[in-house]
């Protein structure tokens, strides 16, 4: 199975070489790797070009955009720019961050999962962050959820869910739509990926409101949003974020922000979320 990797990158000169080194060291090499240089002002592009000179499967795409970092929209716009530069001769499409170190067998193992079951639509490992000199499991990790930093999709799945949506919540709606279309989502805890920058380190107040908006556009409804907001705020160890999330939800509802899903999909998502909550409680 051929796999392509698209990596959005903005000012990653200090880390991207580590990511690329881990990619060229894979026991099963990617067919193509595209790094999207998203308006970087450092030496990100120079570093990528140096790798591309030695490894022809690596290419650089330059993209100009705002320097404002809002989660979801900016990174997926960059991803889509990289996707447009690729052909359709892949079996697996992966979106990866530019601050990861993959174990050498990462993609060989990912491919084996896809080959083992034709109904598997998405696969991913677990992210670890460094704390006090030790690599610990990122606290946002969930065995039922693949982190946005390392999403791998079967081509048929990727196309059926409509690719990735350039707004916050993209890395949740993709999995929910997978389940809507009866694809399996698989996580592999043996695949330990070093995540060099904690998720959301640069998010501002506006971005925090965006999380509540995302819950609304996912079709959650208020009750599920309140529960999800409380859980996420506690996981981030910032209880007051709950207020920001709820404000974001009501702001999106009052302005009639369009949903990311259809009414049928929203109903499925609500039922699925309620069922998962019941399973955890009982």
In the chain, % of residues over pLDDT 70: 93
- The span from the CA of 104 to the CA of 102, in Å, is 6
Average pLDDT of the chain, as a whole number: 91
Q: Is the pLDDT of residue 263 over 80?
A: yes
- The span from the CA of 138 to the CA of 124, in Å, is 14
The pLDDT tens digits for 121-131 are 999 999 999 98
The answer to whether the beta carbons of residues 225 and 245 sit under 8 Å apart is yes
Mark whether 151 and 29 lie in a shared domain.
Answer: yes
Query: How many distinct structural domains can be found in the chain?
Result: 2
Long-range CB contacts (< 8 A, 24+ apart) of 198-207?
Answer: 198/129, 198/138, 199/127, 199/138, 199/140, 199/147, 199/148, 199/149, 200/71, 200/236, 202/69, 203/69, 203/71, 204/69, 205/244, 206/70, 207/69, 207/70, 207/71, 207/168
Last residue of a domain, one of 195, 229, 245: 195
Q: Is the pLDDT of residue 205 over 80?
A: no
Largest separation between any pair of C-alpha atoms in the chain: 56
The answer to whether the beta carbons of residues 195 and 138 sit under 8 Å apart is yes
Tell me the CATH number at 26.
Answer: 3.90.550.10
**pTM of structure:** 0.90
Mark whether 77 and 189 lie in a shared domain.
Answer: yes
Mark whether 51 and 166 lie in a shared domain.
Answer: yes
Instruction: Tell me, yes or no, whether 253 lies in a domain.
Output: yes
More confident residue, 280 or 98: 98
Last residue of a domain, one of 195, 216, 250: 195
Mark whether 232 and 158 lie in a shared domain.
Answer: no
Mark whether 103 and 17 lie in a shared domain.
Answer: yes
pLDDT at 66: 62
The answer to whether the beta carbons of residues 35 and 60 sit under 8 Å apart is yes
Q: How confident is the model at residue 74 (pLDDT cuts 50, 70, 90)?
A: confident
The pLDDT tens digits for 78-112 are 999 999 999 999 999 999 999 999 999 999 999 99
Mark whether 17 and 110 lie in a shared domain.
Answer: yes
- The span from the CA of 281 to the CA of 32, in Å, is 44
- Residue 19, CA distances (Å) to 9, 25, 79, 101, 195 in order: 11, 10, 16, 5, 10
Residue 122 lies in domain: 3-195
Mark whether 185 and 57 lie in a shared domain.
Answer: yes
Mark whether 37 and 111 lie in a shared domain.
Answer: yes
């Amino acid at each position: 199975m051929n796999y392509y990797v698209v990596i959005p990158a903005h000012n990653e000169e200090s880390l991207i070489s580590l990511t690329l080194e881990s990619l060229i060291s894979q026991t099963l090499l990617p067919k193509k790797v595209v790094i999207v240089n998203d308006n970087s002002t450092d030496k990100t592009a120079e570093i990528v070009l140096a790798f591309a000179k030695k490894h022809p499967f690596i290419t650089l795409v330059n993209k100009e955009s705002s320097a404002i970092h809002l989660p979801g929209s900016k990174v997926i716009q960059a991803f889509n720019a990289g996707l447009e530069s690729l052909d359709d001769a892949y079996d697996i499409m992966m979106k990866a961050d530019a601050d990861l170190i993959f174990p050498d067998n990462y993609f060989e193992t990912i491919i084996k999962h896809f080959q083992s079951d034709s109904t598997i639509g998405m696969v991913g490992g677990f992210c670890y962050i460094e704390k006090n000199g030790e690599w610990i499991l990122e606290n946002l990790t969930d065995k039922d959820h693949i982190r946005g930093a390392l999403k791998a999709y079967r081509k048929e799945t990727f196309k059926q869910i409509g690719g990735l949506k350039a707004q916050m919540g993209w890395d949740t709606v993709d999995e929910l739509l997978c389940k809507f279309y009866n694809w399996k989502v698989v996580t592999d805890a043996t695949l330990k990926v070093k995540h060099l920058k904690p998720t959301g380190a640069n998010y501002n107040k506006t971005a925090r409101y965006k999380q509540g908006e995302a819950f609304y556009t996912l079709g959650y409804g208020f009750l599920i949003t309140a529960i999800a907001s409380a859980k996420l705020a506690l996981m981030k160890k910032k209880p007051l974020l709950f207020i920001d999330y709820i404000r974001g939800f009501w702001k999106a509802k009052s302005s009639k922000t369009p949903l990311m899903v259809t009414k049928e999909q929203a109903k499925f998502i609500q039922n699925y979320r309620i069922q998962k909550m019941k399973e955890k409680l009982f």
